[in-house]
Amino acid sequence: MTPTLDTRTVEDRGSRARTLDVHGLRLRLPGTARPVLDGVDLHVGPGETVALVGESGSGKTLTSRAVLRLLPSGAVAEGEVAVAGEDVLTMDQQRLRLLRAGQVAMVFQDPRAAVNPLRKVGDFLTESLRLTGGVDRAAADRRATELLEAVGLTGAVLDRYPGQLSGGMLQRVVIAAALMGDPILLLADEPTTALDVTSQAEVVALLGELQERFGTALLFVTHDLGLAAAISDRVCVMYAGRIVETGPAGALFAAPRHPYTMALLAATPHLAGPTGRLAAIDGQPPDLREELTGCSFAPRCRFATAICREQAPEPRPAPGEPGRLAACHHSDSLEGSAADA
């Protein structure tokens, strides 16, 4: 039976069992002076799309990979990463394999890096279902054909090699592969970056259509704020391994409450905006080889004061705005400053 899309509001969904619930996630790597992920909290409800945005190196991809426990060698993870109430970080290997084969699937940035160029598309699509699900080849091929048709391709693609497909077609194949196990959660890590503009639009529209059809929760990692605004229910803004702001997409982009979000929006080009040089965020993200004191964004923030340099801010709720949080000492006084960022 095909699940239906949950059409209730984000607030209603938040009161239900969450598909993904990350709490206090810390990830340490050898050779670093501080955690590369430092107390990450985020959740995704059934049928919900949450965008995770920020500069390169902010920890977005590591956060998404932690959901499948695809961690770098030597990594030490703390906290909780729960899928449907079960902690991924404490699963045994057998349970973890089943999770990766069914409940959670990932669409990576470069589709050509996700497939074996020497094997046919049909083998790529059906292997996991046949080996972990005990499904025979004929049934697996039927399932693969159904999903190829769902992503706008035909069953004839099963007999082709990856090199015979365009980038957009191959990304559709990778999305079909991710859906083979009927996942409750789809992780999309910059899935449109390697594609041309036309293919990007097609893939984004496709993800929305599939999510509506199958009711799958989606964590969408991107550096494209316009894309995040267009497709997501909620947005989590990440900087230096921390979530610095989160809230409903429309409200967050209309009135950001963290200086980093403001700076990202100011640096985003707009066709209808003023001409000339784009605004830039001065400075660089903090070096992982150095300890942090105070707010991680303080050295680059024009609103920073003494307390910012001395004390790391805790997430603060926005008065009268359920679901909005900003980790900034001055978030309540920044309203109206976004246009000047």
User: Digits of tens for pLDDT over the chain (341 positions)?
Assistant: 322 223 223 333 333 468 999 999 999 999 999 999 999 999 999 999 999 999 999 999 999 999 999 999 999 999 999 999 999 999 999 999 989 988 999 998 888 888 999 999 999 999 888 877 778 889 999 999 998 998 889 999 999 999 999 988 998 899 889 888 889 999 999 887 767 777 778 878 888 887 888 889 999 999 889 889 988 999 999 999 999 999 999 999 999 999 999 999 988 876 666 666 777 888 999 999 999 899 999 999 999 999 999 999 999 999 888 899 999 999 988 765 654 54
For the chain, the domain total comes to: 2
Question: Structure tokens of 91?
Answer: 């699963």
- How far is Cα 24 from Cα 136, in angstroms, rounded to an integer? 42
Residues 180 and 81 in one domain: yes
Residue 113: per-residue pLDDT = 86
Residue 77's CB: how many other CB atoms inside 10 A?
A: 18
Contact 291, 207 (CB under 8 A): no
Residues 218 and 109 in one domain: yes
> Own/partner pairs for 8-13, CB < 8 Å, 24+ apart?
10/45, 10/48, 10/233, 10/234, 10/248, 10/323, 11/322, 11/323, 13/45, 13/46, 13/47, 13/48
Within a domain: residue 162? yes
Nearest to residue 70, comparing CAs of 58, 61, 83?
Answer: 61
pTM for this predicted structure: 0.87
177-200 pLDDT per residue, tens: 988 888 999 999 988 776 777 777
Residues 318 and 292 in one domain: yes
Residues 93 and 192 in one domain: yes
Max Cα-Cα span within the chain: 67
Give the domain extent around 201.
10-239
Amino acid, single-letter form, for residue 18: R
Residues 291 and 303 in one domain: yes
Within a domain: residue 275? no
Residues 212 and 262 in one domain: no
For residue 160, give the DSSP letter. Answer: S
Contact 21, 13 (CB under 8 A): no
Contact 54, 190 (CB under 8 A): no
Residues 67 and 179 in one domain: yes
Residues 89 and 163 in one domain: yes
Give the sheet arrangement for strand 76-83, strand by strand: 37-44, 20-28, 76-83, 86-87
Residues 258 and 221 in one domain: no
Within a domain: residue 66? yes
Residue 309: per-residue pLDDT = 95
Angle between helices 167-179 and 137-150 (to 10 degrees): 120
Residues 93 and 21 in one domain: yes
For residue 312, give the DSSP letter. Answer: P
Nearest to residue 203, comparing CAs of 236, 237, 230?
Answer: 230
Residues 46 and 183 in one domain: yes
- How far is Cα 170 from Cα 157, in angstroms, rounded to an integer? 10
Contact 141, 158 (CB under 8 A): yes
Within a domain: residue 318? yes
Give the C-alpha distances (Å, rounded to integers) separating 138 from 174, 185, 250, 336, 340: 20, 26, 46, 60, 61
Beta bridge partners of 317: 325
Within a domain: residue 152? yes
Within a domain: residue 3? no
Residues 233 and 249 in one domain: no
263-275 pLDDT per residue, tens: 999 888 766 666 6
288-308 pLDDT per residue, tens: 999 989 999 999 999 999 999
